[in-house]
Every structure is written in structure tokens, then in C-alpha cells.
């Protein structure tokens, strides 16, 4: 069977895998944004805490994905849950670090003007720092997405959802019928999904950034 | 012109105020005492690093004094909630510090919004303030980066006035502009202050700006020690010491004349002679001298207004200008 024939015959499964791959990535990013931005907001003012947050989330990223997924089976079983948790863990560093840097690097004159007119610290954070740091934070979100969209493929190893299943199926029966087509489908699918995802995020970044600070 | 708004200024009093930054041998401000009378513009002038900004920020408690007391309208500011306290004080910082992600209307309207004003009241206030600082109404919808530096500084002043504070702190508010724009902003500001009558603390490096803007000037030495605190006229007439004199610099006599409006000079009756140069009563004695030198005439006619059809109300000659420079002639 040629690659084109394989696609034509299996398109329902492939589309389904792609959607699930997208879903688990999006879910993980959403959770990672809440945790990472929260962590950044809590720590950016204290250099030691900020360094601790960056180092810790950075250390997560060095754990091999197979090892992490394996460890997560114990508490979370097989399927989507361990994959989701692993992806959140891998997505944290860029989001947390960019939140910290973005919040710290807001023009001190803007903060002084805000404090000077009587805005509370909380208001300065929500009304001034966060919107001004947003482009930097969102750049972190985009990097995280690119990182975990590939890692999500490994999730198939613990029976997680997504295009990884194509790859693992293919590799498991290597040399067998359609094995190469499957690996190719999974790999190209992920690359394509990553491109489209990034394009969409670029659009969201534009929409959620004030026109006054847009590049 | 919109109605002059709201609250008049309150008296600020500093008593023995000292600020020692942690880890510094010398205090940045040492035992400063001064009274800033309600409704007046007091200019702090002194060399870079002498403690002007530190002194000013202790008034709105962006910096807490190490010792001493500061009262506004008789209330010790240390007894107030800092945020609440700052809402009664307009603050214009040197770097302008507009919020780049907010439109001009939201920059000006942020504090009123926090205070819970209705949308229509905020919109009206923004329009009123833009007119007051001489910006077109449609600038409300712009973002800060769509304005020139001088326009941004005006927005900074409008924003500081938004919640109608009784006190304004202005740290080199016109520092970042060219001489022509600065002169223009200064004139507008003086016009504005004649209407609003706030108590204003104004910081500058520029002694000529201090002379022009201040009802009183405090010439500061390092550590904010006051070298002389008096009206511009009194400082020019009798600098306390060489340090103050060095600030006045060259041309002290001309500076004195620049402070004297013809309105305040006793004029001679207008001579019958034709073709004498004319000058408006709003001009200064220095402008009159300049006109005399330029036209080669030792007499000028003073008119009640600008323009050719203004009425002549008197005349001024060189001898009278010299008298004014010598001191008493003009002072009412
Ligand atoms: N946060 C700080 N920590 C330590 N020292 C400071 C701090 N802020 C200011 N200083 C020091 O205090 C002194 C007074 O500073 P300040 O900013 O009040 O001067 P200034 O008169 O406003 O100067 P300029 O005209 O350059 O703005 C300076 O010697 C400065 O180095
Ligand atoms: Mg300063």
C-alpha cells in the first residue's frame, strides 16, 4: 500500500488521533498556564524564590519522558491521565520563567507611577504588570506547546491518546505491512499539528495583546 | 475653558525629616524642615544627587522617612494608609511613566475608576482634563506611543490631576522636552495653576525654570540641606551665599527683570511722540529692555493688550528699567 492509499483508507483513525493529540496538548497547556503563571506571580518579587521556581521546573524538563511516564503509572494508572500530568510538568519551565522575567522587566517608571497614584500592589500586578508582561509570557506558552506536542507522542507508551499510537504501532511491527506508513503518518501529523498550533497561538497572542504594546 | 475644579491646596510641613538608605554612611536627606504654604508652587532646586527626589517621595510615602514628621493640612502622613494617602496627591514622575497598554482615556481615568466613579463621570473628567492641558479631545482614544514626548508629559499632568488631589508632586515634569516645548508647557502649567491653586512641589535642575515656576524656591545643598528658601525676587536680590549665587549664575540682573511684569511697574504717562515701539503690559521688564535695545529707542509705549489696535496705557523708559533692576521700583 502506498502512503497515499494508507491515508485514504485510515483517515478516520488518523483524524481521530490528531484530535486527541491536540486535546491532550491543549489541556496540558491550559493547566500549565494556570500553574506556571501563578508560580511566576508568587515568586517574581523575591530573587531566591524566583530562582528556585526556575531551577525546579527546569529540573523537571531533564527527566527522560519514558522514565517520568513510567513513574506516573503508579499513581495515575494507564491512559490519558499520566500523559496529561507529564505534559504539564514539561510545559512548566518556559511559562514560569517567562512569567517571572516578564513581570520583573516591566518599566519601573510605570510601576512607580501606579504606586504613586495610590494603586495597591495587587492592582499594580493585575492592571499593569501582567498585561505588560503578557507578550513575554505568551512567548513562553508557545515554546511550551512546541516542546510537549512532540513529547505527547511518547504517551502512547502508557496507552495515552494521540498520534503517538500510529508511531508506536508502526515501530512495534517494524517491517510488517504499513509499518513505515504508520510511523510516517504519526511523525508528519505531529509536525503539521505543531505548525498549525503555533499559527493559531500567534493569532491568540495578537488578539490578547493591547494594541498599545503590540510589535 | 472648563470650570476650575475642586479642592484647593493644603499646607505641607516637613519637620526635621531625615532619610538614611540602608547600607549608606551618609544620609540622603538630613534634618530638613520647611513649610510649603497652601496653594503655592515651591520649587526644589539643587545639584544631581542632592536628595530632591528622595525628599519629594517622602511626602507621598513612596519612601518612608527614617525620622522626622511630615504633615499635610495638619495630619501626620505616617498615620494614614499609604494607598489612601497617595490618592490625595497627584504625582508626576520624571520618566512620565504612562501605561503603554492603556489608551489615554484609561491612563487618565484609571484612578477615578478605582475610586468607583461612574463611566459617564469619568468620560466627562477625561474630556475636561484633556482640554485643560491643551490636547485635542480625540487623543483620548490614542495609545501613549502615538503621542510625542511633550504630549505624553501633558497626559502625565492630566493623569495626576484626575482624582482632584489637593497636592501635586512634580519631579522634573518638563525635563524631557526641547526648550521651545518646555517654555510652552511651563506657560500652560502656570495658567493651569492660576485656576486650580493646588499646593505644588516642583523639582528641577534648571534655575531659570525655578525662577519662572516658583512662588518660592528652595535651593538645596547635598543631603537636601536648605541653602536658601525664599521668593525668586528675594533670592535674586540677595543670594544667601556664594553657593546660591553660583546657581543664579551670570545675568542675575536680567533674570530679575524677567520676573517683573510691566503690569506691576508704575508707568509714566504716554508721550505724544509718534512711532515709538509698543509692548503689551503682560510682557516683562526684560522684554521691554530687549525691545529698547532692538529698536534703538530709550522709550517704549505700554499697551493694555497684544496687537496693533490695543490701547496705550503708559510709557516706560530706560531709567525706569534700571530702577526696576535696582530693586524696589516695581514691587507693589
Ligand atoms: N534606593 C536608594 N538606595 C540607596 N541610595 C539611594 C537610593 N535612592 C537614592 N539614593 C541616593 O540618595 C541620594 C539622593 O538621591 P535623589 O534621587 O534624591 O537625588 P536627586 O536630587 O533627585 O538627584 P537627580 O537630580 O539626579 O534626580 C543620592 O546620593 C543617591 O545615590
Ligand atoms: Mg531626582
Could you give the ipTM of this predicted complex?
0.88
A-B C-beta contacts closer than 8 Å: 76
- Pocket-testing residue among B20, B48, B49, ligand 1, by greatest number of atoms within 8 A of Cβ: B49
Ordered domains of chain A (ranges, CATH):
3-208 (1.10.3720.10)
Question: Using one digit for the tens of pLDDT, what is the confidence trace for A168-182?
Answer: 989 988 888 889 999
Query: What is the least distance, in Å, from the CA of B19 to any CA of chain A?
Result: 19
pLDDT of res. B194? 86
Ligand 1 shell residues, CB under 6 Å:
B 21, 24, 28, 48-54, 205
Q: Cα of B138 to ligand 1 centre, how many Å? A: 39
pLDDT of res. B332? 38
Could you please report the per-residue DSSP string of A130-185? HHHHHHHHHHHHHHHHHHHHHHGGGGGGGT--STHHHHHHHHHTTTSTTHHHHHHH
Query: What is the least distance, in Å, from the CA of B60 to any CA of chain A?
Result: 7
Q: Hey, is the C-beta of B326 within 8 angstroms of any chain A C-beta?
A: no
CATH 3.10.580.10 domain range(s) in chain B: 261-330
Domain B12-255: give its CATH code: 3.40.50.300
**Which residue has the least CA distance to atom 25 on ligand 1?**
B48
The ligand whose atoms approach the alpha carbon of B29 most closely is 1
Give the separation between CA B211 and CA B233, rounded to whole angstroms: 8
pLDDT of res. B187? 85
Average pLDDT of B286-314?
87
Checking if the pLDDT of B284 tops 80, the result is: yes
Least confident segment among A129-138, A172-181, B99-108 = A172-181
Higher pLDDT, A126 or B5: A126
Checking if the pLDDT of B3 tops 60, the result is: no
Kindly tell me the sign of the dihedral angle through the C-alpha atoms of B109, A132, A127, B88. negative
Checking if the pLDDT of B4 tops 60, the result is: no
The mean pLDDT of chain A is 94
Closest residue in A to B171 (Cα–Cα): A113
A116: chain B residues, CB-CB within 8 Å? 60, 62, 86, 89, 91, 93, 169
Checking if the pLDDT of A199 tops 90, the result is: yes
Q: Hey, is the C-beta of B83 within 8 angstroms of any chain A C-beta?
A: yes
**Which residue has the least CA distance to atom 10 on ligand 1?**
B28
Contact state of A116 with B93 under an 8 Å Cβ cutoff: yes
The ligand whose atoms approach the alpha carbon of B50 most closely is 1
Contact state of B99 with A213 under an 8 Å Cβ cutoff: no
pLDDT of res. B280? 87
A132: chain B residues, CB-CB within 8 Å? 100-101
**Which residue has the least CA distance to atom 28 on ligand 1?**
B49
The pLDDT-based confidence of B5 (bands split at 50, 70, 90) is low
Question: Using one digit for the tens of pLDDT, what is the confidence trace for B195-241?
Answer: 888 999 999 988 989 999 999 999 999 999 999 999 999 999 899 99
State chain A's maximal CA–CA distance in angstroms. Answer: 72
Strand partners, A127: none
**Which residue has the least CA distance to atom 11 on ligand 1?**
B28
∠ at Cα A88 (A83, A92), nearest 5°? 150
For residue A129, what is the DSSP state?
I
Q: Hey, is the C-beta of B87 within 8 angstroms of any chain A C-beta?
A: yes
pLDDT of res. B176? 67
pLDDT cut 70: percent of chain B above it: 96
**Pairing assessment for the beta strands B75-76 and B67-72 based on DSSP bridges:** antiparallel
Interface test with A, best of B56, B91, B97 (most A CBs within 10 A): B97
- Number of other CB atoms surrounding residue B10 within 10 Å: 22
Checking if the pLDDT of B44 tops 90, the result is: yes
Closest residue in B to A121 (Cα–Cα): B83
Query: What is the least distance, in Å, from the CA of A108 to any CA of chain B?
Result: 8
Give the separation between CA A180 and CA B170, rounded to whole angstroms: 72
Restricting to B residues 13-32, those with a Cβ less than 8 Å away from any Cβ of A are: none
Checking if the pLDDT of B325 tops 80, the result is: no
pLDDT cut 90: percent of chain B above it: 56
Give the separation between CA B303 and CA B280, rounded to whole angstroms: 5
The pLDDT-based confidence of B177 (bands split at 50, 70, 90) is confident
pLDDT of res. B327? 63
SS3 B88: coil
Domain B261-330: give its CATH code: 3.10.580.10
CATH 3.40.50.300 domain range(s) in chain B: 12-255
- Pocket-testing residue among B51, B66, B223, ligand 1, by greatest number of atoms within 8 A of Cβ: B51
Checking if the pLDDT of A78 tops 90, the result is: yes
Closest residue in A to B85 (Cα–Cα): A118
pLDDT cut 90: percent of chain A above it: 91
Closest in A114, A119, A213 to B101, CB measured: A213
* CB A193, CB A51: distance < 8 Å: no
Checking if the pLDDT of B64 tops 50, the result is: yes
Q: Cα of B23 to ligand 1 centre, how many Å? A: 14
**Pairing assessment for the beta strands B299-303 and B278-280 based on DSSP bridges:** parallel
Query: What is the least distance, in Å, from the CA of A54 to any CA of chain B?
Result: 27
Higher pLDDT, B99 or B327: B99
**Which residue has the least CA distance to atom 1 on ligand 1?**
B21
Checking if the pLDDT of B328 tops 60, the result is: no
Residue B90 sits at φ, ψ, to 5 deg, of: -80, 135
Checking if the pLDDT of B294 tops 80, the result is: yes
Closest in A119, A120, A210 to B101, CB measured: A210
**Which residue has the least CA distance to atom 30 on ligand 1?**
B49
Collect all residues with Cβ–Cβ distance below 8 Å to A84 and sequence separation of at least 6: A24, A27, A28, A31
Checking if the pLDDT of B330 tops 70, the result is: no
pLDDT cut 70: percent of chain A above it: 100
Q: Cα of B172 to ligand 2 centre, how many Å? A: 8
Amino acid at each position: 500500500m502506498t502512503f497515499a492509499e494508507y491515508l485514504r483508507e485510515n483517515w478516520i483513525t488518523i483524524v481521530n488521533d490528531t484530535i486527541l493529540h491536540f486535546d491532550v496538548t491543549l489541556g496540558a497547556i491550559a493547566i500549565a498556564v494556570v500553574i506556571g503563571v501563578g508560580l511566576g506571580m508568587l515568586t517574581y518579587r523575591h530573587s531566591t524564590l524566583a530562582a528556585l521556581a526556575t531551577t525546579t521546573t527546569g529540573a523537571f524538563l531533564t527527566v527522560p519522558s519514558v522514565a517520568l511516564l513510567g513513574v506516573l503509572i503508579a499513581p495515575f494508572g494507564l491512559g490519558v491521565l499520566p500523559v496529561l500530568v507529564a505534559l504539564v510538568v514539561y510545559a512548566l519551565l518556559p511559562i514560569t520563567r517567562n512569567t517571572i522575567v516578564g513581570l520583573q522587566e516591566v518599566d519601573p517608571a510605570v510601576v512607580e507611577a501606579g504606586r504613586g497614584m495610590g494603586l495597591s500592589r495587587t492592582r499594580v500586578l493585575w492592571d499593569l504588570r501582567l498585561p505588560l508582561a503578557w507578550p513575554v509570557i505568551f512567548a513562553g506558552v508557545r515554546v511550551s506547546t512546541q516542546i510537549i506536542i512532540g513529547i505527547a507522542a511518547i504517551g502512547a507508551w502508557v496507552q495515552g491518546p494521540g498520534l503517538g499510537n500510529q508511531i508506536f504501532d508502526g515501530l512495534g511491527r517494524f517491517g510488517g505491512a504499513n509499518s513505515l506508513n504508520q510511523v510516517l503518518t504519526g511523525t508528519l501529523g505531529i509536525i503539521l499539528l505543531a505548525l498549525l498550533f503555533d499559527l493559531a497561538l500567534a493569532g491568540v497572542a495578537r488578539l490578547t495583546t493591547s494594541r498599545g504594546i503590540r510589535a | 475653558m472648563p470650570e476650575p475644579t475642586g479642592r484647593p491646596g493644603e499646607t505641607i510641613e516637613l519637620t526635621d525629616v531625615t532619610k538614611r538608605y540602608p547600607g549608606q554612611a551618609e544620609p540622603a536627606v538630613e534634618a530638613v524642615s520647611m513649610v510649603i504654604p497652601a496653594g503655592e508652587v515651591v520649587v526644589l532646586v539643587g545639584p544631581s544627587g542632592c536628595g530632591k527626589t528622595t525628599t519629594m517621595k517622602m511626602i507621598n510615602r513612596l519612601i518612608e522617612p527614617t525620622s522626622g514628621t511630615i504633615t499635610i493640612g495638619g495630619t501626620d502622613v505616617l498615620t494614614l494608609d499609604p494607598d489612601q494617602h497617595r490618592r490625595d496627591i497627584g504625582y508626576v514622575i520624571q520618566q512620565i511613566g504612562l501605561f503603554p497598554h492603556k489608551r489615554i482615556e484609561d491612563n487618565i481615568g484609571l484612578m477615578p475608576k478605582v475610586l468607583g466613579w461612574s463611566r459617564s463621570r469619568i468620560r466627562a473628567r477625561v474630556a475636561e482634563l484633556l482640554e485643560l492641558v491643551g490636547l485635542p479631545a480625540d487623543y483620548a482614544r490614542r495609545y501613549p506611543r502615538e503621542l510625542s514626548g511633550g504630549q505624553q508629559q501633558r497626559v502625565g499632568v492630566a493623569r495626576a490631576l484626575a482624582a482632584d488631589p489637593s497636592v501635586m508632586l512634580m519631579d522634573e515634569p518638563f525635563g524631557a522636552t526641547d526648550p521651545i516645548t518646555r517654555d510652552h508647557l511651563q506657560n500652560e502649567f502656570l495658567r493651569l495653576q492660576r485656576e486650580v491653586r493646588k499646593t505644588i512641589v516642583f523639582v528641577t535642575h534648571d534655575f531659570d525654570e525655578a525662577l519662572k515656576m516658583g512662588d518660592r524656591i528652595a535651593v538645596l545643598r547635598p543631603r537636601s540641606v536648605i541653602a536658601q528658601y525664599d521668593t525668586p525676587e528675594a533670592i535674586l536680590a540677595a543670594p544667601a551665599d556664594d553657593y546660591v549665587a553660583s546657581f543664579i549664575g551670570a545675568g542675575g540682573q536680567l533674570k530679575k527683570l524677567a520676573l517683573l511684569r510691566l503690569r506691576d511697574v508704575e508707568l509714566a504717562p504716554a508721550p505724544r511722540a509718534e512711532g515709538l515701539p509698543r509692548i503689551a503690559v503682560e510682557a516683562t521688564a526684560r522684554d521691554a529692555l530687549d525691545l529698547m535695545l532692538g529698536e534703538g529707542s530709550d522709550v517704549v509705549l505700554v499697551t493694555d493688550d497684544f496687537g496693533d489696535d490695543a490701547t496705550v496705557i503708559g510709557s516706560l523708559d530706560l531709567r525706569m528699567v534700571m530702577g526696576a533692576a535696582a530693586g524696589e521700583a516695581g514691587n507693589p
